[in-house]
Structure 1
Amino acid sequence: MEITDNKGKKLWRPSWKGVLITLLVGSNIILIRMIEALVHKGQSLNNEIIQCNELRMNLTQSSTDQLRDRENGMMEIRKKLCGDTSEELGGCTVCPDGWLRHRENCFYFSSGKEYRTWNESREVCEEMGAHLLVIEDREQQEFIKRFSRLQTGQTKDKFWIGLYRDGDGWRWVDGGLYNTSLLHLSGSSGDCVQIHATAGYYKGGCQSSKQNWICQKRSLKI
């Protein structure tokens, strides 16, 4: 479109159609660039998702492999510790080296010149995660008598157990009450109890007398 100025000189003036076309073309170009950017971003996001899924699958497989290796290792340890026993498939109960196992308990018999007072013996057991012997029933009682003789080889040896005078009565170190029908105490004095390999249970001075001792704790299930 042409127009003239006040001196009659011709001037060019764009038509509104041309402006509109230019704007539309420019808008289309911008829109195309935006679409291309979104497509590229979508592809990048999709690649990241794929990589995350692959990483998760690798981690899952690694965890599965580690779990399987750990289970296989535990089975080997169980076979070595349990041996060829009927308990092997479901595991077994074990005791530390130097301890004897009877049912669900482990027992430690001090030997040689390991003589201590009752209080000292109690502290030693606690340091080993145990407590002085608590007689629970007659079967356990017979087991203790039998092995106390075998352990020392001398029937005169004595062992501190976890029975002591608490006020006017007697109590076990685990809080249980003394059962007079299970064992009988001999001796006229003393606030702590010792077992003689063949002669039964005797009162003794908790601090004045030093003897061997017997510790007890639960066995470990593996």
Structure 2
Amino acid sequence: MEFLSVTLGSKSGVVREDSVNLMASDNRSKSGWRPQMSVWWIGAAAVCVGFLLLILILAVVAHNSKAIGHQDSKCENLISSLIMDRDALRDERDQMKVNYVNLTKEMEVLQSQYNAMAVSRDALQEEVNRFNVSKKDEPCPQGWKTFKGKCYYFSSSGLTKSWQSSRTDCQGRGADLVIITTKEELEFVVRSFPITWIGLSDLETENKWKWVDGIDLIGDGFWQEGEPNNNKDSEDCVEVSRAAKRFNDVACGYRFSWACEK
């Protein structure tokens, strides 16, 4: 009985062991499926991430390539512009060299002409000096007065004429109405008469005072205070008075004494 029990026990133990083995095997098969699925998902996720990284890398490379290409294009344009500017500056430099050479030649020609004119001027000045010396040596005509190497004629006492008639008289004597350029000459002229016509007028252009030789009045001249005033828009000729010893514009038709100079 004991042997049978053991045997049965042994059998039952065998049965239980087989059952345990079957259950263990079944449990292992069930629990083994889940790890395999997890590994598959991880692998798929890694592939996706890798693919996304690849796409990202390609996008970055493409963007950088585009940016580099754009920078290269800008650099090429800048270099091209610099080359054009350099060529333009070279052309301008070359043109300036040509202009410099031409100007140098023109300056040499002008210098030569100036030297020739200077020689001619000096010769003319010597001739004028000789003429002045010879003129000073010649006596003034009878009835004329000498002052500072020049000859002056004063109208007869009590004889008066208009400005134009006075000038005509001077021209008939080979002279013209007196031209006063210094204070000493002014004081010399005013001695003879209370009022004397001189060779200054603005008959050609209003307010543009000229001497009878065509030369403009230089500076302010020797005008009386407030003159010339062109009173009544008719004062175009100039007289000097013994009292004022200054210029004064009056109507040309007035009759005064006059002074000639040659």
Q: With structure 1 as the length reference, what TM-score do the two structures score? A: 0.50
Structure richer in helix, relative to its length: 2
Structure richer in strand, relative to its length: 1
Q: With structure 2 as the length reference, what TM-score do the two structures score? A: 0.42
> Whose relative contact order is higher, 1 or 2, with alpha carbons under 8 Å and at least 6 apart?
1
